[in-house]
Structure 1
Amino acid sequence: MSSVSGQATYGHHVNGAYDYIEKQRTRRQSNRVLHAHPSPLFWLERDVPIKEVMVERRMANAAIPKRLNVYIGTPYCLPTNPERCGYCLFPSEVYQGQTQLDSYLKYLESEGRRYQHFLEDEQLAGIYFGGGTSNLYRPDDYHRLMRIVRDVFPTIPPGIEITLEGIPQLFTREKLAAMKAAGINRISMGVQQLDDEMIKLSGRKQKARHAFQTLQWCEELGLRSSVDLIFGWPQQTTELMLKDLEAIVGTGIGHITHYELNVAGRTDFARHRRDELPSTEQNLEMYRVSKQFLESRGYRQVTAYDWEKTTPGLSGEYRFEENMRQAFARDADHGIVGYDMWGWGFAGVTYFPGTPEMPGWIYMNSTKAGEYFGRLDESRFPTERGFHYTHKDLGIATLFQMLQSMSVDVALYNELFRVNLLEEYADIWQALVEKGWAEVDRNKVTLVGDGVFYTPLIQGLLAYERTEEMRKEKSPAPSVQEVAFLLASQPPTGTVIRQERDTEEARLSVEVGSRSEGVVSDLRPPIRRQRESTTLTWYRELTSDRVELSLLRVCGDVWHDSPVVLSHGTFSNAQTCKRLATYLAENGFDCWVLELRGHGRSEVGPTHPDFERFSELDVPAALGAVRHNTQNKPLFWVGHSGGGLVLLMHLARHPEALMRVKGIVTLASQATDAGMTWSGWAKIALSAVGNNLLGYAPGPLFKLGPENEFRGVMNQWFRWNWNGRWTGHDGFDYLDGLGQVTVPALCVAGGGDRFIAPYEGCRRLYNALGGQDKQMMFCAKSEGYGEDYSHARIMTSRRAQREIWPIISEWLAKRAN
């Protein structure tokens, strides 16, 4: 039965992947090959805690060493008619004169000073001066620019790539010589079109001779160079495209970025020239023809849009682009390593991915020059908004980056994220293979044929379910103005961030604008239960030390005698337990969710909490409050992580309280074994340093939960797991005390919870319990579950709702009446 059902479901998923591909295949696609997940539309954190981010980054980099790329933006672009070159939505402001640049450099220097003590010891991998338009400066300004950089990074490794991006008509030989003298060794030129009539549509005062003259000067001065060209331009034909390629290849250029025009938003091309644009099918044909041409001329494709000359001494020299496709990579000498990016200046995007165990951040600076200046004037970091990765989101972002290089290192991905990538997306891989878009073996997924052109579509397909989840969770929705700025933001992890590239706005046209056209349904729709009516009521209860606690009552039709108290763990509040409480209430239980002191709506009290204040003061108050409101009936306690520990600690010291408790369910609760490996010890040591350095453990920052956690709470947990002993401040041994806890118990551990609550620690707690009616449940694929459950997913995921919650409900029901 299960085999047949599984095959049917799998077939449904493959068909869903096909449906998505067919719906999106002929739509204009975003140049998402330049982007990581998630879309900037979901960067909703307005108050990015930069100092904590930098502390977190240092701890994460101790586990996986990272070198740093630096992107330095310039706000200004020449005025054009139509504005913004007709198609660009990236943040920029109109250049009006040199005084703007002089003022901006002062603020750039100010931001550098704010970061200096965090970054001065960094190993730099590359520097990129991007746009706006970075060749607007006067020749002597480039020495000043590099001095500002050296003030933050006193030691710049010799030979690293230092690139400056600009437009052809603003380069002069004098400027290029000044750039080289300052230390810049590569020029990236946004040509876009060599045909003088085609480029007129953008409003630029640019001629083909400007581009060729600049390339000649670069060769004379010994500066490496690269160019951007766009295909899919209004009125462009395949013949015109090939004419441009033939001309640029004739210069001997080492690197060409040949990318598809994106059309979206309120640009001139989107509003007034749509009928002049080649269709997606015509763009695909242009891609095929250009690929064949460039390969015939000795160029090697390194991304969907990037081509490098295979001449010895040139291939692979364009390091900034390659580094930005490698948040994680395998190094023969150092194991797993990677690259971060700091976005410095106006609209700069910073990408500090962290590690799978300690996911990091992506955030952007102000996208209005006045706001950028204002924040620095107020001695603030000039950030506008950001996103803190979850484990899942970092996995998708890493997959995006790997796909940018047209292949995925399956073994590296599996090692990093402890999943089977081929199984995780088996339906999608099968659909891509059958379409001839990918080749798959046990070590690598490789995009082939038209699959390379459709890289953005494939990335969107892989992220579709998570994107839909995030869209439903997103609140508040950004304003139209905010959306425009987000869409215009530079790509955080792409080949190069250029002022001409309008990538994310096209994604919005697929993800938002296409809603009216109909979006393919979720490829893996969740199983939803019919909900009975439940009511939610908040109660307040005083502890013996006069601290007011909050309890949320969730109930409907009650047909089980024993109420259920649910308690969250560290970094959490009632929201962690609310969905499970609602599920149990729908199955006849009177549920109460306790918020421990200092969490959610509960008061902190006169003294900062630790676990023993939770267990000695909060637990008895909660037991008394619930019994008082439910006719003194014995109750069940369901605790996640530390929420399970606090009741057990209370019962171990106060066995007389056992008469109030009908049974206990612990989910991922343990106190001794997180540090039983070198990896565990290292994580505990690093986390303890950060905890005591900041004075608290930042939950939202580390994506551990919605709340920061008190230093005393975490220091106890660190000490227990470091020493392998669960003891009180007075030396009381809680594991020994559990021998007196004889009530029924269900202990649940997750196969993917390898650090916070590994199976060994949960099992040790289970073995110490003194009752006869006890059960250990290991939720892992090896035991027939759908996944190896992580610390959070064992409590809150949809799959847990299907696989674990019914078992808990049934276990409680058998012992309730």
Structure 2
Amino acid sequence: MESFGIYVHIPFCRRKCFYCDFPSYAGAESWMSRYREALCREIAAQGSRCLGTARTVYIGGGTPTALAADDLLAVICALCESFRLTGEEEFTVEANPGTVDAKLLERLREAGVNRLSFGVQSFSDALLSAIGRIHTAREAEDAVRMAQKAGFRVSLDLMYGLPGQALADLKDSVARAAALGIGHISIYGLAVEDGTPFACMEEAGRLHLPTDDECGDMYDYITAELPHLGYRRYEISNYAKAGEESRHNLAYWQDVPYIGLGAAAHSYWHGRRMENEKGLCRYIACIEAGLSAAREEAPCSRENHIEEFAFLALRTADGIDKKRFRGTFASDVHEVYGEVIALLQAAGLVEETAVSIRLTEQGMKFGNRVFEAFLLERDET
């Protein structure tokens, strides 16, 4: 029986962060109960016709812990019942430190959740305020300690390249994260996305970001310091102590199928990619009418599949597994990418081992250049 992952989207937040372009809504509390009911109906429908074994479950957002505790627990209960979860799965819930307390964490742990991913972003109160976060640095530390006491594996997100951020700020945040003894740290560079408050501020000349050189210094610090602290870089933006890697995210990068549930959630199943209705109202209306909220994306050609396989695998430290590539596409990776691999090796961006093609440290730094090279030319006639 096929194994797969489950992703559940909770599109609510207490307040939208200034950099966020994810499909989520602040001030939509009146919709939460109807959304929970619709989501549980979709979960039941998908679980009833899904053969195979769920290996990972990830509830993301938005902010799942912005839901009322009873609503969130109802979603978790529906998942456990509909997909016949055994308790052996990696079961992650994203959380904002400003939306949890000891009682909620205790209930989540009792319900079968075993991993929490906290969006912290920085341990500077000034920076947290500048990017629109609702919690303080102290609240973040307290939330992590409560989660550890409750028995969770804990992951923590940080960001660099934030407006007004200096290298000293980042060093302090990394040190405070490591001092908490967590097993997993993700660090992302700020990208100013269209439609966000930061994009409007940038257009008005009011967004003062670190220079490219300053961001480069931050990147270099991260990639040197986290391994020194015992966190292995297993993906471009993700670092973990031994055995603490996110199994759910690794499955994405390893071409494992997954089911997406909730508004705007994506699925990858038997080579087909589906996307649920993005809009909250339209998603709920579809489910309440007994209709599927999923819409098939453009069919994935063999070339598309090869490109995605390569891009996602190259994000990881292990890179493209040559045996898995041949097993998936009935072609040797060199038959498809031989010239590209040779050019990138000469540039010091990829290296080849007996089992894989993978990015070098320099390749990790300039990943977009490598990914662009792995695009396949198509005959447009």
Q: Following the alignment from structure 2 to structure 1, what is the Cα–Cα distance between the partners of residues 274 and 336?
A: 28
Is 1:389 aligned to residue 300 of structure 2?
A: yes
Q: Following the alignment from structure 1 to structure 2, what is the Cα–Cα distance between the partners of residues 395 and 380?
A: 33
> What residue is the counterpart of 1:321 in the other structure?
249
Q: How does 1:560-599 map to 2 (within 5 A)?
A: none
> What residue is the counterpart of 2:314 in the other structure?
403
> What residue is the counterpart of 2:369 in the other structure?
457
> Which of 47, 69, 75 lines up with 1:145 in the alignment?
75
Is 1:435 aligned to residue 322 of structure 2?
A: no
AA aligned to 1:283 is C
> What residue is the counterpart of 2:324 in the other structure?
412
> What residue is the counterpart of 1:131 in the other structure?
61
Shift of 1:160: 1.2
Shift of 1:431: 2.8
Shift of 1:144: 1.4
Shift of 1:319: 1.6
Gap change, CA 1:116 and 1:441, over 3 Å in 2: closer
Q: Which runs of 5+ in 1 are unaligned?
A: 1-64, 328-338, 355-359, 473-797, 799-817
Q: Following the alignment from structure 1 to structure 2, what is the Cα–Cα distance between the partners of residues 189 and 441?
A: 35
Q: Following the alignment from structure 1 to structure 2, what is the Cα–Cα distance between the partners of residues 449 and 259?
A: 16
AA aligned to 2:49 is F
SS at match of 2:64: coil
Q: Following the alignment from structure 2 to structure 1, what is the Cα–Cα distance between the partners of residues 326 and 210?
A: 40
> What residue is the counterpart of 1:285 in the other structure?
217
> Which of 148, 163, 166 lines up with 1:234 in the alignment?
163
AA aligned to 1:287 is Y
Q: Following the alignment from structure 1 to structure 2, what is the Cα–Cα distance between the partners of residues 428 and 199?
A: 42
AA aligned to 1:377 is E
Instruction: Count residues with an aligned counterpart.
Output: 377
> What residue is the counterpart of 1:715 in the other structure?
none
Gap change, CA 1:245 and 1:181, over 3 Å in 2: same
Gap change, CA 1:402 and 1:208, over 3 Å in 2: same
SS at match of 1:144: helix
> What residue is the counterpart of 2:230 in the other structure?
298
> What residue is the counterpart of 2:4 in the other structure?
68
Is 1:103 aligned to residue 15 of structure 2?
A: no
The structure with the larger Rg is: 1
Is 1:209 aligned to residue 145 of structure 2?
A: no
Shift of 1:378: 2.5
> What residue is the counterpart of 1:78 in the other structure?
14
Q: Deviations over 1:766-807 (max 9, x none)?
A: xxxxxxxxxxxxxxxxxxxxxxxxxxxxxxxx7xxxxxxxxx
Q: Following the alignment from structure 2 to structure 1, what is the Cα–Cα distance between the partners of residues 266 and 187?
A: 23
Q: Following the alignment from structure 1 to structure 2, what is the Cα–Cα distance between the partners of residues 163 and 191?
A: 16
Q: Is the 8 A contact 1:71 1:342 kept in 2?
A: yes
AA aligned to 2:334 is L
AA aligned to 2:114 is N
Q: Is the 8 A contact 2:97 2:143 kept in 1?
A: yes
Q: How does 1:627-646 map to 2 (within 5 A)?
A: none
Shift of 1:107: 0.4
Q: Is the 8 A contact 2:184 2:245 kept in 1?
A: no
AA aligned to 1:72 is V
SS at match of 2:298: strand
Q: Is the 8 A contact 1:367 1:384 kept in 2?
A: no
Q: Following the alignment from structure 1 to structure 2, what is the Cα–Cα distance between the partners of residues 368 and 96?
A: 13
SS at match of 1:86: coil
Q: Following the alignment from structure 2 to structure 1, what is the Cα–Cα distance between the partners of residues 216 and 376?
A: 23
> Which of 10, 18, 23 lines up with 1:91 in the alignment?
23
> Which of 155, 158, 167 lines up with 2:96 in the alignment?
167
Shift of 1:165: 0.3
SS at match of 2:66: coil
Shift of 1:415: 3.2
Q: Is the 8 A contact 1:256 1:307 kept in 2?
A: yes
AA aligned to 1:187 is L
> Which of 272, 279, 282 lines up with 1:368 in the alignment?
279
Q: Following the alignment from structure 1 to structure 2, what is the Cα–Cα distance between the partners of residues 89 and 158?
A: 33
> What residue is the counterpart of 1:112 in the other structure?
43
SS at match of 2:65: coil
Is 1:377 aligned to residue 305 of structure 2?
A: no
Is 1:307 aligned to residue 239 of structure 2?
A: yes
Shift of 1:385: 4.7
SS at match of 1:233: coil
Q: How does 1:346-745 map to 2 (within 5 A)?
A: 346-352=263-269, 354=270, 360-406=271-317, 407-441=319-353, 443-463=355-375, 465=377
Q: Following the alignment from structure 1 to structure 2, what is the Cα–Cα distance between the partners of residues 306 and 463?
A: 24
Q: Following the alignment from structure 1 to structure 2, what is the Cα–Cα distance between the partners of residues 131 and 183?
A: 19
Q: Deviations over 1:154-197 (max 9, x none)?
A: x2123211111011111111111111111111110111121110
AA aligned to 1:386 is E
Q: Following the alignment from structure 1 to structure 2, what is the Cα–Cα distance between the partners of residues 413 and 361?
A: 18
Q: Following the alignment from structure 1 to structure 2, what is the Cα–Cα distance between the partners of residues 141 and 264?
A: 31
Q: Is the 8 A contact 2:65 2:72 kept in 1?
A: no
Q: Is the 8 A contact 1:142 1:178 kept in 2?
A: no
Q: Deviations over 1:328-386 (max 9, x none)?
A: xxxxxxxxxxx31100011111012x3xxxxx211111111111012123221012451
Q: Following the alignment from structure 1 to structure 2, what is the Cα–Cα distance between the partners of residues 398 and 117?
A: 29
Shift of 1:316: 4.0
Shift of 1:280: 4.0
AA aligned to 1:347 is A
Q: Following the alignment from structure 2 to structure 1, what is the Cα–Cα distance between the partners of residues 367 and 2?
A: 26
Gap change, CA 1:287 and 1:412, over 3 Å in 2: same
> What residue is the counterpart of 2:258 in the other structure?
341
AA aligned to 1:361 is R
Q: Deviations over 1:72-94 (max 9, x none)?
A: 11121123xxxx31111111122
Q: Is the 8 A contact 2:2 2:52 kept in 1?
A: no
Q: Is the 8 A contact 2:272 2:296 kept in 1?
A: no
Q: Following the alignment from structure 1 to structure 2, what is the Cα–Cα distance between the partners of residues 156 and 115?
A: 14
SS at match of 1:206: coil
> What residue is the counterpart of 2:178 in the other structure?
249
Q: Following the alignment from structure 1 to structure 2, what is the Cα–Cα distance between the partners of residues 260 and 433?
A: 26
Q: Deviations over 1:84-109 (max 9, x none)?
A: 31111111122333x42211111012
Q: Following the alignment from structure 1 to structure 2, what is the Cα–Cα distance between the partners of residues 254 and 366?
A: 35
SS at match of 1:174: helix
Q: Is the 8 A contact 1:86 1:268 kept in 2?
A: yes
AA aligned to 1:85 is C
AA aligned to 2:171 is L
> What residue is the counterpart of 1:51 in the other structure?
none
AA aligned to 2:370 is I
Q: Which runs of 5+ in 2 are unaligned?
A: none
Q: Following the alignment from structure 2 to structure 1, what is the Cα–Cα distance between the partners of residues 331 and 215?
A: 36
Gap change, CA 1:284 and 1:411, over 3 Å in 2: farther
Gap change, CA 1:263 and 1:385, over 3 Å in 2: farther
Is 1:180 aligned to residue 92 of structure 2?
A: no
Shift of 1:238: 1.7
AA aligned to 1:113 is A
Shift of 1:297: 0.9
Normalized against structure 2, the TM-score is what? 0.93
Q: Following the alignment from structure 2 to structure 1, what is the Cα–Cα distance between the partners of residues 2 and 216?
A: 37
Gap change, CA 1:228 and 1:437, over 3 Å in 2: same
CA RMSD of aligned residues (A): 2.0
Q: Is the 8 A contact 1:139 1:174 kept in 2?
A: no
SS at match of 2:17: helix
Q: Deviations over 1:121-168 (max 9, x none)?
A: 431101111111100123333431222113321x21232111110111
